[in-house]
């Protein structure tokens, strides 16, 4: 009986992983945007030039850029910590933006992944950030120089997103996913 329950749970977990795919058009890509997002910790419909949903867990990743700057938006249907890392599909070597909101107070760090942990970077790259938590959703937005996010001629952008249930910087993630976004 226990073996039967184990296999049923395994099938459910695997099916959730398969359905945690991106919602939207498979040919969408990260292009230069017509307008710049407002970094206020609130994602608005149409604010970003690129958006991808991970529907199974309620995460939205949004990106915009112009010739000099890039913007990252991350929203999760959770009230714990949220994080997005760029320039890697795993935590190691990723430049990570992580934060949470407790009783209206924003807690935010810019970090670099080292193996399965994160540390302060040698150089911070952000120029602005904003976070909010409202109606069971946590949102993080950031502005940074385009050159910190990608190199000229780069054709894809590697990202990793993660969420955790407690409000802290040390707990292990409850969900993580790597993404590779086509760049035009």
Return the CATH number of the domain spanning residue range 2-182. 2.60.40
Sorted by where each begins, the domain ranges of the chain are 2-182
pTM of the model: 0.83
Q: Alpha-carbon distance 76 to 60, whole Å? A: 7
Note whether 103 and 83 are within 8 A (CB): no
Note whether 49 and 65 are within 8 A (CB): yes
pLDDT tens digit string along 102-118?
Answer: 999 999 999 988 888 89
pLDDT tens digit string along 116-151?
Answer: 889 888 988 999 999 999 999 999 999 999 999 888
Tell me what pLDDT residue 34 has: 85
Does residue 41 register a pLDDT over 60?
A: yes
Q: Alpha-carbon distance 78 to 19, whole Å? A: 18
Residue-wise DSSP of 49-99: SEEEEETTTTEEEEEEE-SSEEEEEEEESSSSEEEEEES-SSSTT-EEEEE
Query: What φ, ψ does residue 4 adopt, rounded to 5°?
Result: -60, -45
């Amino acid at each position: 009986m226990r073996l039967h329950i184990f296999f049923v749970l395994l099938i459910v977990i695997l099916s959730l992983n398969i359905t945690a795919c991106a919602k939207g058009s498979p040919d969408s890509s990260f292009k230069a945007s017509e307008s710049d997002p407002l970094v206020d910790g609130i994602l608005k419909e149409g604010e970003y030039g690129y958006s991808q949903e991970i529907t199974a867990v309620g995460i939205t990743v949004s990106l915009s850029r112009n010739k000099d700057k890039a913007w990252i938006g991350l929203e999760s249907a959770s009230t714990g910590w949220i994080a997005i890392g760029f320039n890697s599909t795993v935590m190691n070597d990723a430049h990570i933006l992580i934060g949470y909101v407790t009783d209206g107070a924003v807690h935010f760090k810019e970090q670099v992944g080292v193996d399965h942990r994160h540390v302060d970077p040698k150089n911070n790259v952000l120029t602005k950030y904003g976070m909010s938590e409202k109606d069971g959703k946590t949102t993080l937005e950031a502005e940074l120089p385009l050159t910190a996010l990608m190199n000229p001629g780069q054709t894809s952008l590697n990202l990793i997103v993660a969420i955790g249930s407690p409000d802290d910087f040390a707990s292990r993630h409850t969900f993580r996913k790597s993404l590779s976004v086509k760049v035009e």
